[in-house]
Amino acid sequence: MINRITLTLLALLSYAFAKAQLQFCDGILGPAIFTEDFGSGTNNGPSLSNAVTSYQYVNAAPQDGEYTISSDSGQLGSWFSFPDHTGNNDGKMLIVNAGFNAGQFYRTPINGLCENTPYEFSAWIMNVLDGVQNVCGNTEIPIQVRFEIWDATDTILLANGTMSPKFADQRPTWIKYGLTFTTSTGQNGVVLKMINVGAGGCGNDLAIDDISFNVCGDDVLVTTITGETVVTKCENDPAQSIQLNATVQNGAPSLTAYQWQQSADGSNFTDIVGENSFSLTTPPLNSTTYYRVKIAGAPANLTNSSCYSFSQIFEFRNVVVPLAVPRQSPYISCDGELVDLIVDVSPGTTAYWYENATGGSSIHDDSIDYTTQIDGTYWVETEDIVSGCISNSRVPVNFINRSSPIVNSEDFLLCPEEIALLNTQFPNGFYRWSSGETTDRISVDVAGIYTCEVTNLEGCTSTAIFQVEYIETPIIAGVEVNNDELNII
């Protein structure tokens, strides 16, 4: 036996599924009425009752006519070592080494079925013989199982089918086999039988897992009389009443009891009292509503969750288009510069720009931004891309053209110990000096270039620049008199 980590890795790398159809449900499968996955665990077993199989249980390495239940198919050296069909941790399967004589090796009653109801039986089967080793050569016996469904008295055969002979594979391959049948009035149970068609010997070794019985419901489509499965109403449109029909997609219906249901969210449905035909006329609808049909073989089965299936869902969609949200309002332009007006819209919607609150033609289509330098108010209308519905109002985006502040710039020539007053001469604004101050004027006694960004109340900015220089005080080194001239050095 290989370790569990290797088993899991093999499952991920080479898990192969296939379907070999005897007769599968061609409609919609309902919930499982019966399942058998043979449990889980690291130890083999437990054994099945004698009523289920006449084969001999062994704890490991079954020989002809024996079986075990294990999470590892590699019970013999010539078999694949592989996990169960679902790949669950320590999930088990029934592993059978066919007897020398063909015959029944598995039998179990299935109870809790519903009368007048079609079902699908299915099971997953794998040939566990390792085809790479090919220990049998040309004498290999393929696996081949016949499936039979009998009534609860075990006297009336309801359905049967035989899988094609299946020789060993090059890698482990689970294959699904199935049968469909319909219970009759008063019939609530059946008997499942699996019969080994071939004789024992080298080969004919198989694993079985995930036996299931499910309601086989009709594939029913709910549409309007014109075939629509979705009807859309814009929020400003009047309420609508719709006629719906439930139509079987393939062949004649096998389930003929109906119960219409409705839902506000598409998940939680409730019965509509008295609506039990294949068609429904809705009341006037003004909000999103979902409809479906619960279908069963008899009216009494409509209250038993094991006996019915559902149609596909019809949607009446009331489309409310969310309004656009301006990223800024108002937008400010300084000295006539171009400005990009931008709005945010909900996913699945787009924006159109107008010069009026209502009416008029769009000045910019299908875009969340609009560039302009002309001040005024612009209006944004949103549209749902799928339905074409538009918002019930337009959102204003204000655009204002303003002038930048006029500020003072000045140069200063100072003597030592003098102080310069740098004044922007623009009151009622916001100030950011290169020296860190935030007032409209500052005093300095150090030479240098000083700048101040001045922002007015509308958000426009200008920069004041001041250059401050100092002149050194002259020092008299001496005085010379030459005839009539006096020279100061």
Q: What fold does the segment set 220-319 form as a domain?
A: Immunoglobulin-like (2.60.40)
CATH architecture of 4-217: Sandwich (2.60)
Query: If phi over 0 gives left and psi between -120 and 50 gives alpha, with beta otherwise, what is residue 479?
Result: beta
Give the H/E segment covering residue 455: strand 448-455
Instruction: State the burial class of residue 93 (Cβ atoms within 10 Å of its Cβ: 0-12, 13-18, 19+).
Output: buried
Q: Which SS3 state, helix, strand or coil, does residue 12 take?
A: helix
Q: Would you state the pLDDT for residue 297? A: 85
Q: Would you state the pLDDT for residue 390? A: 96
Q: Which two tokens stand for residue 21?
A: 């159809």
Do the domains 4-217 and 325-402 sit in the same CATH topology, yes or no?
A: no
How far is residue 385's CA from residue 448's CA, in Å, rounded to a whole number?
60
Give the H/E segment covering residue 2: none
Q: Which residue ranges make up each domain of the chain?
A: 4-217, 220-319, 325-402, 410-470
Q: Would you state the pLDDT for residue 9? A: 36
CATH number of 410-470: 2.60.40.10
Give the H/E segment covering residue 229: none
**What's 325-402's CATH class?**
mainly beta
Instruction: State the burial class of residue 31 (Cβ atoms within 10 Å of its Cβ: 0-12, 13-18, 19+).
Output: exposed
Q: Which two tokens stand for residue 120?
A: 């699908």
Q: Would you state the pLDDT for residue 249? A: 86
Q: Residue 288 to residues 96, 236, 323: CA-CA distances in angstroms?
A: 55, 14, 19
How far is residue 216's CA from residue 487's CA, in Å, rounded to a whole number?
125
Q: Which residues of the chain have pLDDT under 70?
A: 1-21, 251-252
Determine what percent of the chain falls in helix, strand and coil, rounding each to the nearest 5: 5, 45, 50
